Amino acid sequence: AQTVTQSQPEMSVQEAETVTLSCTYDTSENNYYLFWYKQPPSRQMILVIRQEAYKQQNATENRFSVNFQKAAKSFSLKISDSQLGDTAMYFCAFQGGSEKLVFGKGTKLTVNP
């Protein structure tokens, strides 16, 4: 069974700085998707970024980018120029050959003014 590990339960960063959230996963599949979802306080979960495993190029969405290392089974999220609105729980998720997502336990990120 696939597992997703987020080793940092909590992190903090100063506004305008850069922060990297870690995620590792375990799978024997070759084709899969990886996701980062964001859950702001008392608000609903939204997709931040998605990576397809067969694409070597790292996905980017504005200030958010990933470092996808397939051989190492690592999928970290980098947030540049952190903003107060980036304060949230961040979940890494894996999707293999089914419609189901496997989530990590989350990283609580606080952006300090």
Interface residues toward another protein, by CB under 8 A: 9, 33, 35, 37, 43-47, 50, 91, 95, 99-101, 103-106
φ, ψ for residue 64 (rounded to 5)? -105, 130
Nearest CB to another protein, comparing residues 16 and 45: 45
Of 106 and 111, the one with the shorter C-beta distance to another protein is 106
CA dihedral over 73, 34, 36, 58, signed as positive or negative: positive
**Nearest-approach distance from CB 103 to another protein, in angstroms:** 4
- Minimum CB distance to another protein smaller for 64 or for 103: 103
Residue 47 beta carbon to another protein: minimum distance, rounded to whole angstroms:
5
Q: Residue 15 or residue 52: which is nearer to another protein going by CB?
A: 52
- Cβ neighbours of residue 113 closer than 8 Å, sequence gap 6 or more: 15, 84
Give the count of beta carbons closer than 10 Å to the beta carbon of residue 28.
7
63 with 111: CB under 8 angstroms? no
Shortest distance (Å) from residue 98 CB to another protein: 9
